[in-house]
Chains A and B, each alone.
Chain A
Amino acid sequence: MIRKNTLKSAGKSVVSILFAIIWAFPCVWMILSSFKPTSELFSYPLHLFPQEWTMLNFHKALQEFDILQYMGNSVFVAIVATIFTVLFSCMCGFALAKYDSKWLSFFFLCLLSTTMLPTEIIMSPSFEVIRALGMYDSLWACIVPAIGSMTGIFLMRQFFVSVPNDFLEAARIDGADEGVIFFRIMFPICMSQVAILSIFSFRWRWNDYIWPLISLYTKEKYTLQLALRSISAMDSISLDWGLLLGASVLTMIPVLVIFVIFNKQIMSSSMSSGIKG
């Protein structure tokens, strides 16, 4: 029995390690390649480790790529969008779970049905709204369409459904208004959901490419992903691979720092939510 369990455990470990290698290999290759001179990138036979280590690609990336400006834009979009997404999702989820109104369930179904629409379908009308609001070429254009997250609303609603109504009734008897109930009682008890949604929302906005592409055109306002794409300017024929590799590795650093700081929360949020961006 013990032997069988050991074998089972070893098998699982081997499969896990194999998947980890498959996932990590392209990343390791990219990082090591960023230390290679461009002349070595396509030389045959290929080598995993640089034959000649160089920092030239990073130097070039920092010189030709205003990484701090783009990072500032990405940070602004990701943080502000996350704050609003969390706040609006909590409020909406709370209302859908705790208020009893004739059309509320129908409204919830309507909201839920919007998850069936691919983002591409609503891009054109959303662009028109952004344009009409005078937000075109503003970072707010990357934020506003992303605030209404049905995934977030659903997550929060499901949590608030599980909270006993006794809390609300007791608070109402004590004279608390709805704002106080939400901000002083309900919001603090859903902190684990807030953490999950914050982490996912930040990641969605950080990696977002399509919305910034549609809503921005001034280079100074580009987010990191959009700026990175502009390096792969023409096509793979005239692409400066060294510059692209250097800039790509540099853009990974902030996310890695966040991961190191919030390691535990990110891992537990991935396990407990099962949300896919």
Chain B
Amino acid sequence: MRKIVLVCLMVLALFVPLYAGGSGESSSADGTVVLEILLSGDTTEGSPMQKAVERFNAEYADKGIQAQVNEISLSDLPTQISNRIRAGKLPALVKNTTNTFEQFTDNFYPLDETGLDPNDFTMNYSVRGGRFVSTTLNSTAVGLFINTTLWDEAGVPYPTTEEERWTWDEFVEALKTVMERTGCEGIAIEHSQQRMQTLLYQFGSRITPADDPYTLVFDSPETREGMEYFINLVKEGVATYTDIVGIDTAANTFKSGRVAAHIGGNWSLTDFAENITGFEWAPVLMPYAKEKATMIGGNLLSVFDGSGQEKEAIEFVKWFYQPENYKQYLADANYLSGMKSLDVDYTLEELAVFQQELAASCNTPNEDMMIQVNHPGASYGNTIRDNWTQAIVGEITVDEAIDRIINDIIIAYPDVKEAQ
């Protein structure tokens, strides 16, 4: 018995000094400030921020500032930030998605001292409540991928120039021919608000008028037509049911080679280039019904107010957006630029299609974004995706889905009214 107690005490004596330490150190013994950059998905996307941090650390080795990346799961990000706000242990910087960003806008430090212009960034998230609180780290665009092996086998041509861009009816007709001649499945559409809302924009739908972000015009024949069009595609078996309702991941379905086409985004390019070996594929221009549209998304960089390292974090942001550093960051992961008018040399030629999509897109997605810009901290979440999905599975009608979406938007933004 004594032996057991003795062994236990020895184990404790060994471990306690190692593990009894409290919170992580934010500065080293020589006074160097160590900035923590909280983010997710860096490793899977080629570690571009880790590489940027290594370059920063080398450059700032004798300037008293160093940085380090702390990577966690995206779904755990809000939990960790909330807890760290409560404990007063905030990281210096955070890479946000648009959803997590809206939750913490009040906790961000203004970026005016960086000398950057909020209007230079591609996403309308830089200014909230009159404060410049975020920069766009990278942009994403929705696009169409096709399995060219199947299309070539079926002898069906696909567009390579803007003039050859399909309408949705032309695309569906071509797709049906490919399905018939090769026995493959049709199109895998990603279960995502950004991807699904892009399709609605292509049918002319919009949330608010161009010049009035306080009036809702979502209940329109265009929205109804768009929603019904894709419900019919699912019913006809042209669009895969399990992908659009979120049972399967559409990108993985595409990687299996079973489907002829896939609505996804530019973030899949690196993955597809590395991991598809059984067939040829290519991104092509997306079809349109009334409008050519792609919805811009992306990630944001913010500095936390209350970390005690705000000045050093601002220094990092200034360094990060110097053209040579930022271009290197984008090139390392084949990201689309988060800054307007910036030429980057990419290793993946396929990115050009997404840049073309962005250039050709109507301005409706950006105009609709104004409703969020005018309501810092509030968000209508994924209501469009979720209610449209319920209509696809037949739980509600399209009219009910539209009513629920409008209701959710009004709950999120009470000063917004539906058009009479």
Contacts and interface: CB of A to CB of B under 8 A. Distances in A.
Contacts of A233: 40-44, 71-74
B70 A217 contact: yes
Nearest to B81: A217
A219 B44 contact: no
Nearest to B190: A237
Interface residues of A, number: 46
Nearest to B24: A218
A170 to B, nearest CB: 19
A172 interface: no
Interface in A188-235: 188, 213-214, 217-221, 229-235
Nearest to B19: A139
A25 to B, nearest CB: 19
A26 B59 CA distance: 48
B29 interface: no
Interface in B198-246: none
Nearest to B43: A64
Nearest to A184: B1
Contacts of A137: 22-24, 89
Contacts of B256: 42-44
A218 B74 contact: no
A127 B252 contact: no
Contact of A230 (B22, B71, B252, B268): B71
Contacts of B276: 39
Interface string A117-137: 000000000011001001111
Contacts of A62: none
B22 A232 contact: no
Contacts of A64: 43
A107 B11 CA distance: 33
Given A42-B256, A217-B24, A237-B251, A138 B19 contact: yes
Contacts of A229: 72-73, 76
Given A183-B1, A218-B70, A236-B252, A138 B43 contact: no
B94 to A, nearest CB: 12
B6 interface: no
B348 interface: no
A140 interface: yes
A162 to B, nearest CB: 21
Contact of A80 (B12, B40, B87, B89): B12
Interface in A103-161: 127-128, 131, 134-140
Given A213-B79, A233-B41, A233-B74, A138 B87 contact: no
A238 B41 contact: yes
A76 B12 CA distance: 9
B76 to A, nearest CB: 6
B161 interface: no
A238 B255 CA distance: 13
A234 B22 contact: no
Nearest to A77: B19
B345 interface: no
Interface string A237-260: 111100100000000000000000
Interface string B23-61: 110000000000000001111110000000000000000
Interface string A18-45: 0000000000000000000011011110
B79 A240 contact: no
A234 B86 CA distance: 24
A236 B249 contact: yes
Contact of A140 (B19, B72, B76, B83): B19
A83 interface: yes
A171 interface: no
Nearest to B74: A234
B70 A219 contact: yes
A88 interface: no
Contacts of A188: 1
A236 B251 CA distance: 9
Interface in A155-190: 183-184, 187-188
Interface string A38-81: 11011110000000000000000000100000000100100110
Given A234-B44, A237-B267, A219 B86 contact: no
Nearest to B91: A217
Contacts of A232: 73
A83 B8 contact: yes
Contacts of B44: 231, 233-234, 238-240, 243
A230 B41 contact: no
Residue of B70, B251, B275 ringed by the most chain A CB atoms within 10 A: B275
B277 interface: yes
Given A43-B256, A83-B12, A213-B76, 13 more contacts: A39-B275, A39-B277, A43-B255, A44-B256, A137-B23, A188-B1, A217-B80, A229-B73, A230-B73, A233-B43, A236-B249, A237-B268, A238-B267
5 closest residue pairs by CB, A with B? A218-B24, A234-B41, A44-B256, A42-B255, A233-B41
27 contacts: A39-B275, A39-B276, A39-B277, A42-B252, A42-B256, A43-B257, A44-B256, A44-B258, A64-B43, A76-B18, A127-B86, A131-B87, A137-B23, A138-B21, A138-B22, A184-B1, A187-B1, A217-B24, A219-B71, A230-B72, A230-B76, A232-B73, A233-B74, A235-B75, A237-B264, A238-B271, A243-B43
Interface of B: 1, 8, 11-12, 15, 18-24, 40-45, 70-76, 79-80, 83-84, 86-87, 89, 190, 249, 251-252, 255-258, 264, 267-268, 271, 274-278
